[in-house]
Chain A
Amino acid sequence: MGFTSDRIEVSDALECVEYFYRENMTDGLPVVPPTEQRVQQFLEAVALSADAKIAEIAERASVITAEKLAINAVMAGCLPEYMPVLVAAVEALADPDFKFNHLASLGSPWPMVIVSGPIVRTLGMNHGMYVFGSGNRPNATIGRALSLLLWNCCEVRPDAIQRGQLGNPHRYSLCIAENPDTAWEGLNEWEGFDRTTSTVTVASGYHLCMTRSACSVPRGILAPLANAIARHEFEPGCIVVMIPPNLEALLVEQGWTKRHVRDFIFAHCRRSVKDLKEDARWGRRASRFVDGLKDLVPVEPGDEERWVYLFKRNPDLDPYVFPEGALSRRADIFIVAAGGDAGQTMGFYQPYEQSTIPVTKPIKLPRHL
């Protein structure tokens, strides 16, 4: 079958699982044995030869071949029909905008994978209740396949380049889908593709944050979200927001599109200078350091009325809060229509905005699919 990977002989599937543990080839969970026959099925699903180059991750001097992607996808428990999604996801991870080496950061960032478009329905992905949780095979195993691929082919492991201070529970798997029936434009359309083109977006971040609304008008629904975003890392970047269908319906009924939601968040994410000083965010990580700073910067009269905006620039105040590099990158709100249809919970993925920006790639389907 033309494989170049080393062939490993084991007595049975259980011995395969133990062997992969011993050789540090898994993420801590058992794997499906990647037999030649099974790997071949995955390659046929995307009509690729084993040596086909999917992408080159320049920062790790690593060329990802279809063979290595298929092996790790088998191990993760994928089905062959998930391969087109994985190919597009690897292309996104290798894009220069993703800036792959940020995965080595002490902050433990990890990319969230978002699938948008008709393939969500085709594969039976979860975009509803417990969208971030367990129980759906494509969501769980697509995310895990990428995790294993980076583990085995790009040295993204704690014993190699992944030096996260606390680590990240999303490291095992993080893949969600967007509701393909959303009344809004899909994330695929937001990123410049048409509604019939399925896409994968990778967006690096730290963790899922949730907030709840107790209101039914747009400003009241979104105010807690904007406030929660502003209370977190407070650095301009691309923030992925999840709006569930019942709240989406309320917003749509009142004429609010995704762009209205984005503009509201842009306008309302702010913190006062007093707040930033009391939170030790003033004059520390910014391009302008407060000389001799050893402790909290004293609050001065009027600081409670001086505002720093996350998405609106103020050249007088921004240098005391934001690093230079943070102000020149894309800042946006990626709104994903996803979640259960009851409750008031919205989510956002706190971005690792410090060098990476989200990347979206179209999913290319072979002719027979």
Chain B
Amino acid sequence: MTLIVLDPRQAPNARAVTPAKRLASLSKKRLGLLWNNRLGGEELLKQIAELLHQKYDLAEIYFTKKTFIGNPAPAETIDDLVSRVDAVVVGVGD
């Protein structure tokens, strides 16, 4: 005597993601920083940018932010970054 039961699990659907084209170097490139508006994150990002600037001699550093960590960056913020910079540092953290 055995019992047949059903598996309750479901894995996420796999999605194909096409990453942006990689830069050969950050040298003389414009770097964007997208802060998630979480306390302390802007200080961390600015220090990262300073280290990157020392290492790669960046052409420009552009700092912007989301209004809140829990929401995706609005399209206008993304468009603004695309128009202004060659690479972006973004992350989620506390």
- A-side residues, CB < 8 A to B, are 3, 5-13, 15-16, 25, 33-36, 39, 60-65, 67-68, 71-72, 75, 99, 101-102, 105-106, 148-149, 152-153, 155, 284-285, 287, 323-326, 328, 354-356
Select one of A9, A61, A325, A328 contacting B4, CB under 8 A.
A9
**Complex contacts, B83 vs chain A, CB 8 Å:** none
The CA of A93 and the CA of B94, in the complex, are separated in Å by: 25
- B-side residues, CB < 8 A to A, are 1-10, 12-15, 37, 39, 67-71, 94
> Which residue of the partner chain B has the closest CB to A149?
B8
The answer to whether B68 and A326 touch across the interface, beta carbons within 8 angstroms, is: yes
The answer to whether A11 and B10 touch across the interface, beta carbons within 8 angstroms, is: no
The answer to whether A16 and B3 touch across the interface, beta carbons within 8 angstroms, is: yes
The CA of A153 and the CA of B6, in the complex, are separated in Å by: 13
The answer to whether B12 and A60 touch across the interface, beta carbons within 8 angstroms, is: yes
> Which residue of the partner chain A has the closest CB to B71?
A355
**Complex contacts, A287 vs chain B, CB 8 Å:** 37, 67
Select one of A25, A35, A101, A148 contacting B3, CB under 8 A.
A35
The answer to whether B6 and A6 touch across the interface, beta carbons within 8 angstroms, is: yes
Select one of A11, A34, A323, A328 contacting B6, CB under 8 A.
A34
Residues of B contacting A: mostly: loop
The CA of A13 and the CA of B5, in the complex, are separated in Å by: 9
The CA of A7 and the CA of B71, in the complex, are separated in Å by: 39
The answer to whether A7 and B13 touch across the interface, beta carbons within 8 angstroms, is: no
The answer to whether B8 and A13 touch across the interface, beta carbons within 8 angstroms, is: no
Given A323-B37, A323-B67, the answer on whether A12 and B1 have CB atoms closer than 8 Å is yes
**Complex contacts, A355 vs chain B, CB 8 Å:** 68-71
Given A16-B5, A62-B13, the answer on whether A325 and B39 have CB atoms closer than 8 Å is no
Given A9-B4, A323-B37, the answer on whether A354 and B70 have CB atoms closer than 8 Å is yes
The answer to whether B4 and A36 touch across the interface, beta carbons within 8 angstroms, is: yes
Given A99-B70, A106-B94, A284-B39, the answer on whether A36 and B6 have CB atoms closer than 8 Å is yes
Which one of B2, B7, B12 has the highest number of Cβ atoms from chain A below 10 Å of its Cβ? B7
**Complex contacts, B67 vs chain A, CB 8 Å:** 287, 323-325, 328
Given A61-B13, A62-B12, A106-B94, the answer on whether A8 and B68 have CB atoms closer than 8 Å is no
The answer to whether A8 and B4 touch across the interface, beta carbons within 8 angstroms, is: yes
**Complex contacts, B39 vs chain A, CB 8 Å:** 284-285
The answer to whether A12 and B3 touch across the interface, beta carbons within 8 angstroms, is: yes
Select one of A3, A39, A152, A284 contacting B10, CB under 8 A.
A152
The answer to whether A10 and B3 touch across the interface, beta carbons within 8 angstroms, is: yes
Sample (7) of A-B pairs whose CB atoms are under 8 Å apart = A25-B7, A25-B9, A33-B3, A35-B6, A61-B15, A287-B37, A355-B71
> Which residue of the partner chain B has the closest CB to A328?
B67
The answer to whether B15 and A5 touch across the interface, beta carbons within 8 angstroms, is: no
